[in-house]
Amino acid sequence: MTTMAYEVATPVFAGPFDLLLHLILREEVEIWEVSLAGIVDAYLAEMQRLEQLDLDVATEFLLIAATLVELKTRRLLPGSDGIDVDEELSLWEERDLLLARLLECKTFKDAAAALLRLAAAAERSHPRRAGMEERFLALTPDLLEGVTPERLRGAFLRAIAPKPVPRVDLDHVAPLRVSVGDAVDELADELPRVGRITFRRLTAGVAQRLEVIVRFLAVLELFKQGLVDLHQGQRFGDISIVWLGPTGAIALDRELVDSYEG
Amino acid sequence: MASDVERAIEAILMVADEPLPPDLLAQVLEVPTTRVVEVCQELATRYQVDDRGFVLVRVAGGYRYQSHPDLAPYVERFVLEGQTSRLSAAALETLAIVAYKQPVSRAQVSAIRGVNVDGVLRTLQHRGYVVEVGRDPGPGQAVLYGTTPLFLERLGLDSLVDLPALGQFVPGQEVVEALEQGLRSDDPPEAEAAHRGL
Amino acid sequence: MASDVERAIEAILMVADEPLPPDLLAQVLEVPTTRVVEVCQELATRYQVDDRGFVLVRVAGGYRYQSHPDLAPYVERFVLEGQTSRLSAAALETLAIVAYKQPVSRAQVSAIRGVNVDGVLRTLQHRGYVVEVGRDPGPGQAVLYGTTPLFLERLGLDSLVDLPALGQFVPGQEVVEALEQGLRSDDPPEAEAAHRGL
């Protein structure tokens, strides 16, 4: 029953919104210290801790991470004139969408807490279930009227027939083996040889959006570790990646690298 | 103002489904048995004076609430009219499982049906089709259920041996067990107490 | 002197094993439903005034006797199997979404929670809090889910109308601002101001 594993079993966070809500609202008291960069870092760090994610959840986490990273990138990369208004708008749209989903998630989180309080109050009372006194039992209608031994047999067979187990059909999903860790390794092998490359070219052969995101995260990871420099001629223009690290084999700080697999 | 012991006895008797011996109540409430007997008598008198539709009686060595004998005609009408006179498909399946797999525990029946069966089993017990027949010797000592002579009588059967054979299409024991296992692993410890709140 | 209707209702509720809808009582007693509701309210008040250890409540669309919440410590000593099994936070949030948005498809619930909810929904179905209530008429004919009377019983509610209004849980301005701030890609205004000030 592999489908049983599809519940997220993290002790604290039941999903990506949960985590994001926590990260943002935790900072509530020191609101001026809330920085998107901090949230992105904490988000990525938390993702690393999650082991055994199912594909749906992993994708959801990644998409949110990608949106956050996209937002963050605007701060990291040198801003300049020539802003593409459409790109700018669509980024704001995504941000607002994320905000709306976070608000909805928070609403039901608080509603759930209220239901729990109701249930706790209701639990303090116990219902009477004693039922019929003996003297009335003889009066009760014969519920078995019309039930033949054959019908009983039929009912038993129905009861023990294997129930269709809801199964998530993943056949239509191309087998993906994307991990940011692998992508980082790949890039650390490839980049010293090419020296300079654009992100567009780096991902030219990649069809899956998920894989593009993973590569993007890997590039950011290398940037964070000071192994590459990033340049962008204009906002939302092509990003060029320049290798800064040594040319030989390098020791990557694997601690920081997300290592789950999709 | 009613005393705590008085109110506690009312509360406990209200949720009990069989007569409660005074010494059991005394033990739970940590008061002498004589005090329990005294309070129960006072309560019974109070209900009478207040002209309530129920009475507190001592029966089979214990105390319990029951409907006032005066009101039997109304209760009878409720029993005859107010209750559905057919077993639901769910109830029939539950009864069938008890019949074919007896002695069987509530958890086992629940695992096979994939839903909580507490309410259905209670109805079947009230109707006299199912009884407790013993306890599982294993850990937990779960109550085991079986069918009654009334059940056989209503189905026109002489004995359980006369239940129709299940035939060749019955999934083997291992399939049933795998199924039970699967349902259990889905929701293992809660299954039994599931109806007890969130 | 208590009326016959009053006493008959008391008697019948005493032998019932689930909440009794007022129209069922009305039918058996041959009085208008409004009268039943009236009498039940009077009875409930009477028990309260008399400081009884039990209460008469309306829950899941019907009336029933239950122990007074004050006396939970005593009753729980008696009801040994009363161990509650709590639902996980994930299950509870899913349940809240189903409760407020029913009929709702699995995909809709999943979209709000941002995670796959198959397993959680199955657990809730298994526990009898959630059932399939129909199918989306649109393409795909997704199964739609809703809550059960058992869910209402566990929450001590009479009907879905009694759920706390969802509006009161919509995050306040300060939370919205905190979230907005958190997702803002520009420098926070304060930081900017501080910067300029220097």
Query: pLDDT per position in chain C (198 positions), as tens?
Result: 578 899 999 999 999 888 999 999 999 999 999 999 999 999 999 999 999 999 999 999 999 999 999 999 999 888 754 445 677 888 899 999 999 999 999 989 988 887 778 888 988 887 789 999 989 888 788 899 999 998 999 899 999 999 999 988 988 888 888 777 777 655 444 444 444 333
CATH 1.10.10.10-classified regions of chain B: 4-72, 89-169
Query: Is the pLDDT score of B40 beyond 80?
Result: yes
Of B112, B94, B102, nearest to B161 (Cα)?
A: B102
CA distance C81 to B194: 11
Å between B164 CA and nearest CA of chain C: 30
The residue of chain C nearest to residue A135, with distances taken between CA atoms, is C15
Query: CB within 8 A of B114, min separation 6: which ones?
Result: A163, B183, C126
Å between C102 CA and nearest CA of chain A: 14
User: Mean of the per-residue pLDDT values for chain B?
Assistant: 82
Å between C112 CA and nearest CA of chain A: 6
Q: How many CB atoms lie within 10 A of CB C125?
A: 16
Mean pLDDT of B106-116: 82
Tokens of C55: 């209460």
Do residue C85 and residue B193 have CB atoms under 8 angstroms apart? yes
pLDDT tens across the length of chain A (262 residues): 333 333 333 345 667 777 777 777 765 434 344 466 677 777 777 766 665 555 555 666 777 777 777 766 665 555 544 556 666 667 677 777 778 888 888 899 899 999 999 988 988 888 888 877 877 877 777 778 778 888 888 888 888 876 544 443 333 333 444 567 777 888 888 888 778 888 777 777 666 666 667 777 777 778 777 788 877 665 556 778 888 877 765 656 554 444 333 3
Q: What band does B11 get if pLDDT is binned at 50, 70 and 90?
A: very high
- Identify which of B11, B114, B119 has the shortest CB distance to residue C74: B11
Q: How many CB atoms lie within 10 A of CB B52?
A: 23
Mean pLDDT of B24-28: 93
ipTM of the complex: 0.74
Q: What is the pLDDT of residues B88-101, one digit of tens each?
A: 778 888 999 999 99
Chain A residues 194-223 with CB within 8 Å of chain C = none
Query: Under CATH, to which class is C4-72 assigned?
Result: mainly alpha
Do residue B126 and residue C17 have CB atoms under 8 angstroms apart? yes
Return the amino acid letter for A205.
G
- What are B136-142's contacts with CB under 8 Å, separation 24+? B136/B105, B142/B105, B142/B106, B142/B107
Got the DSSP string for A67-124? HHHHHHHHHHSPP-S---HHHHHHHHHHHHHHHHHHHHHHHHHHHHHHHHHHHHHHTT
Query: Under CATH, to which class is B89-169 assigned?
Result: mainly alpha
pTM here is 0.65
Of B137, B157, B148, nearest to B102 (Cα)?
A: B148
Q: Directed axis angle between helix A55-76 and helix A36-49, to 10°? A: 150
User: Look-up: residue for tokens 């020539």?
Assistant: A82
Do residue B155 and residue A160 have CB atoms under 8 angstroms apart? no
Do residue A24 and residue C182 have CB atoms under 8 angstroms apart? yes
* Beta-strand relationship, B143-147 and B130-135: antiparallel
Of A105, A97, A93, A107, nearest to A20 (Cα)?
A: A105
Got the DSSP string for B10-58? HHHHHH-SS-B-HHHHHHHHTS-HHHHHHHHHHHHHHHHHTT-SEEEEE
| Residue A162: per-residue pLDDT | 64
